[in-house]
């Protein structure tokens, strides 16, 4: 394996640690440790997004997953498993799960490594022989101006993906109604 650029060095650092932390999530015997490993994986993934020049995605990843979701996980652990939080996490299905997991990994690795992937977005400044396909994502508007990826996402959200964007708010509304309804308790507790 030849290293061509600093970006690759950074990528392999991030990737190795992220995968190690992901394994930690699975193999940690303590659910709190699992949750912390998860945070590490999620934040390092944000680093990979930076390498891919997806700054906006990386920021969202840190805010939503590194911040919101991990705190939510911690709260859930704290509230639901106060007494037996330190118990072992393995179930009876462990051997089956290991076999199934390894099988899926093998299939995915074979499939991903053998497939000729398409270059999705016109990339500028990409080193030719780089295994990490570092892209400078620069999208052009109709008028020919260049946009950063944040601009491009905003542009797409309100033009091409207007319907999914609006319906996403409905999903949130429905989730909110459902959460309030289910958490409300019985009728007599409500005046």
Write out the residues near other proteins by the rule CB under 8 A.
107-108, 110-112, 114-121, 159-164, 167-168, 170-171, 173-175, 177-178, 181-182, 186-187, 190
Nearer to other proteins, 9 or 100 (CB): 100
62, burial (CB in 10 Å: exposed 0-12, middle 13-18, buried 19+) = middle
Taking the complex as a whole, the smallest distance from the CB of residue 185 to other proteins amounts, in Å, to 9
Other CB atoms within 10 A of residue 11 CB: 20
Taking the complex as a whole, the smallest distance from the CB of residue 40 to other proteins amounts, in Å, to 20
Taking the complex as a whole, the smallest distance from the CB of residue 142 to other proteins amounts, in Å, to 12
Nearer to other proteins, 20 or 174 (CB): 174
Taking the complex as a whole, the smallest distance from the CB of residue 6 to other proteins amounts, in Å, to 25
Nearer to other proteins, 6 or 115 (CB): 115
Which residues touch 54 (CB under 8 Å, ≥6 apart)? 137, 149
How far does the chain reach from its first CA to its final CA, in angstroms? 68
Other CB atoms within 10 A of residue 5 CB: 13
């Amino acid at each position: 394996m030849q290293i061509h650029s600093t970006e690759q060095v950074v990528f392999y650092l991030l990737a190795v640690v992220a995968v190690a932390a992901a394994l930690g999530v699975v193999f940690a015997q303590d659910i709190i440790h699992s949750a912390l490993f998860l945070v590490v994986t999620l934040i390092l993934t944000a680093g990979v997004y930076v390498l891919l020049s997806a700054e906006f995605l990386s920021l969202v990843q840190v805010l939503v997953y590194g911040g919101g979701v991990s705190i939510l996980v911690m709260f859930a652990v704290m509230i639901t498993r106060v007494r037996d939080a330190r118990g072992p996490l393995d179930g009876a299905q462990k051997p089956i799960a290991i076999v199934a997991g390894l099988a899926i990994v093998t299939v995915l690795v074979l499939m991903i490594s053998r497939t000729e992937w398409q270059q999705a977005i016109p990339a500028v400044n990409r080193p030719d022989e780089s295994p990490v396909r570092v892209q400078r994502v620069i999208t052009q508007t109709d008028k020919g101006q260049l946009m950063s990826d944040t601009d491009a996402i905003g542009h797409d959200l309100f033009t091409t993906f207007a319907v999914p964007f609006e319906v996403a708010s409905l999903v949130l509304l429905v989730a909110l109604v459902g959460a309030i309804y289910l958490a409300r308790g019985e009728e007599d507790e409500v005046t």
